Structure 1
Amino acid sequence: MKDAHDVAVQVRRLGDPRPALALGTAAWVVATIVVLLAGDRWAATLPVCVAGIVVGLLGSALFLAQRRAARRGRRGAQVGLS
């Protein structure tokens, strides 16, 4: 049986959005490079790839802003971000 501290650490690790944001944004960067190397054949998908990168960067910025607000103890900050 796992003790409560081990479970809390595992839940905190699995609930961390940073790896998902980083992997998702990196995947869109790779997709953009592939589209650029493919030439005219996949040129219509380039705006979708760029939008994926922009959304990933905006999500990262939002997470960082909320975490900073939570650490400062601001009233409107989300709870549980450390």
Structure 2
Amino acid sequence: MELRDDQPMQHDFGKRTFFVADVEPLDVDGVRTVEVGTALWLVAFIALLPFYGRLEESGNEWWLWTCLAGVGLGLFGLEYCRRRRKARAEREG
């Protein structure tokens, strides 16, 4: 989506007025965001590994597998974002 000069800088909804800031987005392709999220899931998985026995006894071992699923889905998301960034670069360049 390209920003054009003819776009409104404010929107009126009922009795409220919302102003549109004239700034560029920080992370356009999302690669860094997905990398950080995946790394955090990995850190959580590693941090929970020493407590596997305690998690199993209390019935909360799903915490460990949730972290592992987060890492797996993050890796898929990372590949998706990288391909999208590459396709956008080829289209623009």
TM-score, length-normalised on structure 2?
Answer: 0.58
Instruction: Give the structure 1 partner of residue 84 of structure 2.
Output: 66
Aligned residues: 67
> Which of 33, 39, 42 is equivalent to 2:46?
33
Runs of 4+ aligned residues of structure 1 deviating over 6 Å after TM superposition are none
Please give the TM-score of this superposition, normalised by the length of structure 1: 0.64
The unaligned stretches of length 5 or more in structure 1 are: 1-6, 74-79
Greater helix proportion: 1
Q: CA RMSD for the aligned pairs?
A: 2.4
Rg larger in structure: 2
Q: Which has the higher strand share?
A: 2
